[in-house]
Structure formats: C-alpha cells, structure tokens
Amino acid sequence: MSTADSSRLSAVTIGTLFAKRIRLGVLALAVVGIGLVFPFPVEGRLWGHVFNLAHAPTFFCTFLVVVGLLDPSALGLPKRFATVLPMTTGRTAVVAAVLIGLGVLGECLQFFAGRSPSLKDVAANSAGLLAAFVWVSGRRSFAMIRHFSGVIAIVVLAAASLTPLINIRECVEQLRQMPQLTSFERPLELGSWKARDATMTRSTEWSTDGVRSLKVELQPAAYPSVSFYWPNADWQGYQVFAVDFRNPNEKPVTLTIKVQDRQHSLNDKGRRDRFNYDVVLASGEVRSVSIAIREIQRAPENRNMQMDQISLVEIFASGLTERTSFFVDHLRLE
C-alpha cells in the first residue's frame, strides 16, 4: 500500500471516529437537555433539593464526557484511545461556554414544561463546569498543579452542593418528626413556608411546643396569607389535624385554615374542591384548634380528598383593612 493510500485510509478512519464521537457527544448533551426540561412526575420540597443537588455534578460529568470524547488524553486516558480534536485551553473554554448556554436554554424552556426556571440552577451548572474546567486544565501540568487543580475542583463542587445537602437533611428531619408537621424550632423550617402580603418571623414571645413559634404580620389586602407548601403528605391513619394560635391584638381576628391535596393543586378547581375552616380568635385568646381528618377528607364537593397527597396548608385572612398579627405553632397530626 502506498503512502498516499495509507494517508487516505488514516483520514477516513479519523473521520469515521470523529463522526462516532460527535454522535456520542450529541447524545450526552441531549440526555442532559431532556433532564433539564422534562417534567418529572415527582414533586415536593425534598425532590426539589435532590434535583438542585444534581446540577453541579451533572454538568461536571457532562463536561468531562464531551472533552474525553474529543481528546481522551486531556483526561489522562491511555494513548490507545485516539484523539480526534486536541483540547487546548481555548477549546475547553469553548466547550464550557457551550454547556453554560445549554444550561441557560434548558432553564428558559422550563417555562413551557410547567417547571420553574432558576438562576440558582444556572449558578450550580456553572460551578460544575468551572470545577471540571479547572481539573482538566491542570491535568497536563506538573504534579503540584495537578493536585492543586483537583483540590480546587473538589472545593467548588462541595460549595455548590452544600446548600442542597443542608436542605435535604432538613427535609429528612421533617419526615422523621411525624406526627408533628412543624413547630418552628429549626430555622430551616421556614423554607417550607411562603408569605403573601405578610411577613413571617420565628419568635420566642410565645409557644406551645419548644421555645419558638411563627409570628405573622398580615398586611391590609384581599387575602394576606402564610402557606405551608409540601408538608409531610401522608395523613392517612391519623384522626385529627391540630394547630395552636394566639391573638395578641386588642380586636378579634378571623382566620381561615385551608388544606388541599395534589389533585386540587394541579387542577385548581376552586374553593369547593378543598377544605376551609374559619377560626375566630378573641382579643388575647390562645386556642388549640383540632379538626377531624374525616372532615378534611370529605370537604371536596365531588370527591374525597387524597389524604396521602396533601400538598398545602394555608392560613389566611379575608378583606383585611388594617395590619394584624397572630402567632401559630405546633402543627401536628394526632
């Protein structure tokens, strides 16, 4: 075989290998892209933090896969794995930029998939890519730089994972404390609550369990509220839902307790498809409100509430014309 024939054969082989590697790279990017956009059939605070935890490691590994397919030696793999495109520092930076763009695009497309885009997710993706870029860039340097780049990559990944891990631990603790739903003793318990036309603070002024309760300041509005999103969802086997209140005002306060399940949250069928219970607190009154679980279950007009899929407990006032405060504590099942 002539030298020209060998060159042509080598070119054909490299071309075939390049095309194969590109296909694998596109497949890897497609898998990541689908993962960013796909509306996974799991919900809740715990799953949200698990997905948050996955962002940085996923983009770290995706970067390594793409770079490794183009230039295995950049990852320190043996020379028997052919290089189809040498990965210089500039080219690895381009790969990182493309993957950042993919992450931003995926977050934007979540609008159309019923998911919530997040700048925090973009930051976590970028942290994973930064860790991978630093690690790959240090691979071809002398030993001290290799070790240093590895340490930096680990630190960046750990920093990006710390908050999700802390929140996952809090969710596990919330599950372990059943039948207590929340008692506001831990600062991260407020991560499950959202306020609308209201402010929330953990207070030591009054409590019925532990030393803290939730102090709520309601603003003048149509429906100021505080909402407990994704409490422990399975209320089956319990007889009573209970919650403690205190009214520190000189006037009575009327509050409504709302409970709904996942089906109501998905379909938003209105007031008749959920449970509502009005509580009138006299000035200075402290009251423990107990509600039979069967009443909650039978509240929807044309169905039974799914007591293993409770998704929201909300406390709100209606047509408030002046600032009003109250304390709430020790939400529990009995």
105 plus 237 within the same structural domain: no
Whether 203 and 167 map to the same domain: the answer is no
- Residues 293-297: contacts with CB within 8 Å, 24+ apart? 293/235, 293/238, 293/239, 293/240, 293/241, 293/333, 296/235, 296/241, 296/259
Q: What's the pLDDT tens digit per position in 266-323?
A: 776 778 889 999 999 999 999 999 999 999 999 998 899 999 999 999 999 999 999 9
Can you give the residue range of the structural domain that contains 198?
Answer: 180-333
pLDDT at residue 103, as a whole number: 87
Q: How confident is the model at residue 5 (pLDDT cuts 50, 70, 90)?
A: very low
Structure tokens at 27: 């497949």
Which CATH number belongs to the domain containing residue 315 in this structure?
A: 2.60.120.430
171 contacts: CB under 8 Å, gap ≥ 6: 45, 46, 49
| Interatomic CA distance for residues 304 and 274, integer angstroms | 10
Per-residue model confidence (pLDDT) at position 138: 84
329 lies in the same domain as 201: yes
Q: Both 12 and 121 in a single domain?
A: yes
**Backbone torsions φ then ψ of 85, nearest 5 degrees:** -155, 105
Of 176, 211, 243, the residue at which a domain comes to its end is 176
Check residues 261 and 15 and name the one with the higher pLDDT: 261
Do 82 and 126 belong together in one domain?
yes
Cis peptide before 179 (omega within 30 of 0): yes
Indicate the length of the chain as a whole number.
334
How far apart CA 199 and CA 218 sit, in angstroms, is 7
211 with 275, same domain: the answer is yes
151 and 7 within one domain: yes
If asked whether residues 162 and 213 sit together in one domain, one would say no
User: Residue 334's CB: how many other CB atoms inside 10 A?
Assistant: 11
Domain end position, chosen among 139, 156, 176: 176
Q: Both 153 and 66 in a single domain?
A: yes
Same domain? For 77 and 216 the reply is: no
Whether residues 153 and 239 fall in one domain: no
* Residue indicated by tokens 């406390």: 315
State pLDDT tens for residues 25-43: 777 777 777 776 666 656 6
Is the CB of residue 219 less than 8 Å from the CB of residue 203? Answer: no
Tell whether the model's pLDDT for residue 1 goes beyond 60.
no
Mean model confidence pLDDT for the chain: 87
How many domains does the chain divide into? 2
| Cis amide prior to 187 (ω within 30 degrees) | no
pLDDT higher at 69 or 297: 297
Picking from 161, 176, 191, the residue at the C-terminal end of a domain is 176
Residues 108 and 325: their CA atoms lie apart, in Å, by 39
In this prediction, residue 9 has a pLDDT band, given cuts at 50, 70 and 90, of: very low
Map tokens 């381009």 to a residue: 94
